[in-house]
Amino acid sequence: MSTDIATRPTAARGTVRTLRQSEELSLLRDHLLRLDPDSRHDRFHGFMDDSFIERYAAKCADDGTVVIAYIEDGVVRGAAELHPPDRSPDSQPEIAFSVESTVRRQGVGSILFKKLIAEARSKGYRSLRITTGAQNQAMRALANKFGANLKFRHGESTGTINLEPLAPPQAAMTAIATPADAARAMINVNRAYWKMMLRMYGWNRAA
């Protein structure tokens, strides 16, 4: 379980880590219940009452949702949710974000997004989907920052984030040669070998 300090000029001072399934997901519920009405509206696309949020958090606790949390003094102030692909109609994992207003615009959403992408890559996911209100400037800015291609439809914007496999390290790159590269390398080795042989026998003194 990794822990990072979220640092920025305005210095969010908390830590970021994945919540333990079931045992810790009440921390997610309490965070979501603390969101102010506008934020709840933005986060849940209009569904706002407490009982909805309680049922939602309970579902996350046992359906395999990964929750990466921003925590200050033991209290979750921000969360990134990675929902399992089998919960979505086209098997594309859904993601969602929420940051309490007291810690916004300090890079918390960005660090949660970064962690969530790393987690999704580690699970082998190739793409992620995010849905947000068309008027939600903050979420659109955050999603754009991480390469989401947002499309507008019926007052909502939906975006896909493609998770291309990371480029292999340089050593591996050199090992992966095309057939032409391999042939060229072989010719160079042969040339060097024959040069050495000719030199040994003194046949290339004139060269």
Rounded CA separation 24/28 (Å): 8
Sorted by sequence, the CB contacts under 8 Å of residue 145 that are 6+ apart come out as 110, 113
Q: Does 110 bind ligand COA (CB under 6 A)?
A: yes
Q: Which stretch binds ligand COA (CB under 6 A): 102-110, 152-160, 171-179, 189-197?
A: 102-110
What minimum distance in Å lies between the beta carbon of 178 and ligand COA? Answer: 39
149's enclosing H/E stretch is strand 149-153
What minimum distance in Å lies between the beta carbon of 91 and ligand COA? Answer: 19
Sole binder of ligand COA in the list 65, 132, 157, 158 (CB under 6 A): 132
Q: Does 99 bind ligand COA (CB under 6 A)?
A: yes
Phi, psi of 107 (to 5 degrees): 90, 5
Q: Does 98 bind ligand COA (CB under 6 A)?
A: yes
DSSP state of 35: S
Phi, psi of 131 (to 5 degrees): -125, 135
Q: Does 65 bind ligand COA (CB under 6 A)?
A: no
Sole binder of ligand COA in the list 34, 84, 85, 104 (CB under 6 A): 104
Sole binder of ligand COA in the list 13, 105, 191, 195 (CB under 6 A): 105
Phi, psi of 72 (to 5 degrees): -125, 125
Q: Does 60 bind ligand COA (CB under 6 A)?
A: no
Rounded CA separation 112/94 (Å): 15
Q: Does 142 bind ligand COA (CB under 6 A)?
A: yes
Q: Does 32 bind ligand COA (CB under 6 A)?
A: no
Q: Which stretch binds ligand COA (CB under 6 A): 37-45, 84-92, 174-182, 193-201?
A: 37-45
Q: Does 69 bind ligand COA (CB under 6 A)?
A: no
121 in Cβ contact with 163 (< 8 Å): yes
Q: Does 150 bind ligand COA (CB under 6 A)?
A: no
Burial class (CB in 10 A: 0-12, 13-18, 19+), 72: middle
How many positions of this chain bind ligand COA (CB under 6 A)? 22
Burial class (CB in 10 A: 0-12, 13-18, 19+), 94: middle
Binding-site ranges for ligand COA (CB under 6 A) = 39, 42-43, 96-99, 104-110, 132, 136-139, 141-142, 145
